Amino acid sequence: MPYSEQTVQSVRPWSKQTFSFTLSRPQDFAFENGEFVTIGLKREGKLVARAYSIVSTADRDYLEFLSIHVPDGPLTSQLVRIRPGDSVWVNSKATGSLTLNHVLPGRTLYMLATGTGLAPFMSLIRDPKLYARYEQVVLVHSVRTAAELAYRDEIEALDNARLHYVPTVTREPFPTPQRGSDLFRSGGLSQRLGLPAPDPGQDRVMVCGNPDMTRELTRYLKDAGWTPTNHRGIGNFTTELAFVVHHE
């Protein structure tokens, strides 16, 4: 059977719309930092499952996830109710295009996330191997309200001079009210950090989050001479298309 029954270990609410949780890790379950796996709940004997990026790193003995709550979502409307000791079903195979194997090494890595699209980037910034491949790492997390800035305290506490964390909030007063994608495209992001303008010959980009934002940035990057990673090889930017199902 491709799914195994796992136990909820903890649940943490971040806002009215977002929460994270940890599960026991299936025996022999392997994944690369930045990948996603399909998880689900059984209701009346039927499994309702969706893809979720893994927040925890591959060296942990548990699996951590970040979720949005959609009131009428077939999965998240039920998942938001889980408590320690409950069961969640986890697929045996992880995959995804936001791993270190999907972009070339380079000067600066830009990670552009909206909402729960932060999840795979949390796994990556916790991995020391990331900083061996890039001189600088920029993590931009755009949300509607400040309460949705999940893991903010942990990120700021990392105290890594090579990691630049830029939270933005678009629906309430905040020091940075712009969308992260707009900051990147305007050049304002690199300027505020004192970094050279993004260059496809030297820098790399990862994108995860709202499908409209992902498509918008993909078009912009392609038009600006960036090359996406695909089945033919490794490029200088990559996106997680599977993220579209995270919102259900």
pLDDT in tens, 183-224: 999 999 999 999 999 999 999 999 999 999 999 999 999 999
CA atoms of 100 and 128, how far apart (whole Å): 12
Q: Cα–Cα distance between 121 and 209 in angstroms, integer?
A: 11
Would the pLDDT of 247 be above 50?
no
Residue 124 identity (one-letter amino acid): L
Token pair belonging to 175: 């020091």
Q: What pLDDT, on a 0 to 100 scale, did the predictor assign at position 185? A: 96
Q: Which amino acid is at 62?
A: Y
Task: State the average pLDDT over residues 9-15.
Answer: 97
Residue-wise pLDDT tens digits, 86-139: 999 999 999 999 999 999 999 999 999 999 999 999 999 999 999 999 999 999
pLDDT band at 233 (very low <50, low <70, confident <90, very high): confident
Give the total residue count for the chain: 248
pLDDT higher than 80, residue 241: no
What average pLDDT is seen over the chain?
94
- The two structure tokens encoding residue 225: 């001479």
For residues 12-19, give the mean pLDDT: 95
Q: Tell me if 230 sits within 8 A of 58, measured CB to CB.
A: no
pTM: 0.95
Kindly compute the dihedral angle of the four CA atoms of residues 98, 99, 104, 109, in this order, to the nearest 10 degrees: 60
Higher pLDDT, 133 or 241: 133
Q: Is the pLDDT of residue 56 over 70?
A: yes
pLDDT of residue 19: 97
pLDDT at 248 over 80: no
Closest among 114, 121, 110, 164 to 33, alpha carbons compared: 121
Residue 43 pLDDT > 80, yes or no?
A: yes
Are the C-beta atoms of 11 and 82 separated by less than 8 Å?
Answer: yes
Q: Would you state the pLDDT for residue 202?
A: 97
pLDDT at 62: 98
Provide the pLDDT confidence category of residue 170 given band limits of 50, 70 and 90.
very high
> What is the bridge-based pairing of β-strands 36-43 and 46-53?
antiparallel
Average pLDDT of the segment spanning 63-72: 94
Q: Report the percent of the chain where pLDDT is more than 90.
A: 90
